[in-house]
Amino acid sequence: MDAYYSSFIYLAVFVPLITGLMLLPMNTSAVNTTRSIALVGFVVPCIVSIWFAFGFYTSSASGEVYQALSSVDLGLEGLLGISLRFGLNGVSMPMFLLAGIVGLASGLYAIATAAHRLNLYLALLLIMLSGLMGTFASTDIFFFYFFHELALIPTFIMIGIWGGQGRRTAAMEMAVYLTLGAMISLVGLIMLYAQAPAIKTFNLIELKKYFQATGGATVLADNTFAMLLFGFGILVSLWPFHSWAPRGYAAAPSSAAMLHAGVLKKFGLYGLIQIAAPLLPIAGSQWIEVLIWLALGNIVVIGFITMAQRDLKLMVGYSSVMHMGYIFLGIATLSVAGMGGAILLMFAHGLSAALMFMLSTSVYRRTHSYDLNEMGGLGQQAPLLAGFFIAATMANIGLPGFANFWGEFTIFIALWNQYPWVVVPAATGVIISAVYGLRAVANIFFGEVSQSLKDYSKEHPITDIRLGERVPAIILLVALLAVGLYPKWMGDKLESALLKDYAKPQAVAPANVHVN
């Protein structure tokens, strides 16, 4: 692709940042101007990501080839090997597209709210989106990490100012866990850089060539992979380092929860798939057993905890943590099918989790409660809300027709081919998801209306979802169906990108690794 085309990637990354900074000094009374500027910041990345995706998935080039490549030398190339490099391949494109779509949906939902200090609220959300677009577009490991930190900081501030009950405790717990995970992963990335003294660069493309040529079966490589696994794992809420996530999402304002749970939490998973596993395949194979057991903890242990929840937003938060287990299992296979299923599920989960968090808040606005026992019969007064919520629940369970199905199905196939015994405990998660999901639907939208809801609705008549809620819901649902009904358009490029990194013998677990 020519330089003109590639330059548009800067718009996707920096327009949200520029518009966010523009909103910071805005007068709080200039609401219409604030919303107009913010709308530009949310729309541009989405349009660019869809445009790039269309060009990428309709081109004849292999998925392993980076497109929209661009680079800016900041004067650190010769000294530290750092340069602002952007590019998209078959692995990063789904995540870049996910960030653009969820960013627009969360932004539209935020614009329609009546949050106090709206200019600051939207500014922080835009800065967060800028970091996300930069994270998945970066082919320089330093900026991959830098943009993640840029996206992370607004989360703490938004929870502290606009969060719900227990926001200070939740923000503090998130800060401790995520700072710890970020520091451990940073050490791992620096160790990775130190193992390539001959090229002295953070350029991921060059590092892949170097490690594939030299191997990397050393004690230092094993320790590096361990640092990346547990550093990224904490950021993704890998069990038992998960407790920050459900409480943090429950306390976070909805738009922040949509972006964090839907997109930002995929940073660690993406780092394992795009960086750690392909650069250190032999070291990664030594940690398969540990990763499988921890991932099953996410699915089974957190699954039962999710079933016990009676608070809707906490249930959605724990559900998000639970489904990370499937993605970790896909990564544990170190295979093309497993990694492909993991990427598909990351894309699908990002959409469905964002949709569930948004609709949970929509339910709260009509019932003034997250308690499932204080609802009932809402489907009669809000049929559109009921329809969207049921669709989001079906996607979360993994019903055919939604993108989640193909991610989970592919992961199960990969597990069956390598570790058949894992399929049975992993499949219990599907049953668990159906139990708590369908129970929530029944408690909220069907049956008798609770007395507390009757009393509340006398003074606050229940209405269906407004336009500001419908449009984001439609955007997310259409994206889920687009991949769910025809996954081939994304799957072919994804497979060809993964073949280069995971179709080689050394990228597969050695025969002497026993996990049963």
Chain segment 296-333, per-residue pLDDT in tens = 999 999 999 999 988 898 899 899 999 999 999 999 99
pLDDT at 516 over 60: no
What is d(CA 129, CA 45) in angstroms, rounded to the nearest whole number? 9
Going from the C-alpha of 229 to that of each of 78, 203, 407, the distances in angstroms are 30, 20, 21
The per-residue pLDDT for 105 is 94
In terms of pLDDT, which residue wins out, 106 or 210? 106
**pLDDT confidence of 509, banded at 50, 70, 90?**
very low
pLDDT at 387 over 60: yes
**pLDDT confidence of 507, banded at 50, 70, 90?**
very low
The per-residue pLDDT for 81 is 76
User: Which residues 6+ apart lie within 8 Å of 114 measured at CB?
Assistant: none
- Give mean pLDDT, residues 221-225: 81
Q: Phi and psi of 84, rounded to 5°? A: -75, 95
Percentage above 90 pLDDT, the chain: 39
The per-residue pLDDT for 134 is 93
Rounded to the nearest 5 percent, the helix, strand and coil shares of the chain are: 75, 5, 20
List, for residues 195-214, the tens digit of each pLDDT value. Answer: 877 778 888 888 888 887 77
**pLDDT confidence of 349, banded at 50, 70, 90?**
very high
Radius of gyration of the chain (CA): 22
**pLDDT confidence of 504, banded at 50, 70, 90?**
low
User: For all residues of the chain together, what is the average pLDDT?
Assistant: 85
Cβ neighbours around 275 below 10 Å, total: 21
- Positive or negative, the Cα torsion across 41, 15, 357, 345? positive
- Give mean pLDDT, residues 71-96: 80
Q: Phi and psi of 258, rounded to 5°? A: -60, -45
Cis amide prior to 240 (ω within 30 degrees): yes
The secondary structure element, H or E, covering residue 412 is: helix 403-418
Tokens representing residue 315 in the block: 């249930």
List, for residues 250-266, the tens digit of each pLDDT value. Answer: 888 888 889 988 898 89
List, for residues 25-58, the tens digit of each pLDDT value. Answer: 887 777 888 889 999 999 999 999 999 989 888 8
What is d(CA 86, CA 95) in angstroms, rounded to the nearest whole number? 14
DSSP string, 484-506: HH-THHHHHHHHHHHHHHHSSGG
List, for residues 446-499, the tens digit of each pLDDT value. Answer: 877 777 777 777 777 788 888 888 999 999 999 999 999 998 888 888 888 888
In terms of pLDDT, which residue wins out, 286 or 515? 286
List, for residues 126-142, the tens digit of each pLDDT value. Answer: 999 999 999 999 988 89
The per-residue pLDDT for 508 is 39
**pLDDT confidence of 12, banded at 50, 70, 90?**
very high
- Give mean pLDDT, residues 117-130: 92
Tokens representing residue 407 in the block: 């991610």
DSSP 280: S
What is d(CA 316, CA 292) in angstroms, rounded to the nearest whole number? 23
What is d(CA 35, CA 136) in angstroms, rounded to the nearest whole number? 26
The per-residue pLDDT for 354 is 93
pLDDT at 86 over 70: yes
The per-residue pLDDT for 129 is 95
Percentage above 70 pLDDT, the chain: 94
Side-chain half-sphere CA neighbours of 358 within 13 A? 38
**pLDDT confidence of 510, banded at 50, 70, 90?**
very low
Closest by Cα among 234, 228, 146, 138 to 187: 228
- Give mean pLDDT, residues 119-126: 92
- Cβ atoms of 91 and 493 within 8 Å: the answer is no
The per-residue pLDDT for 451 is 73
Q: Would you kindly state where each structural domain of the chain is located, as residue ranges?
A: 3-507
CA angle 236, 239, 245 (to 5 degrees): 50
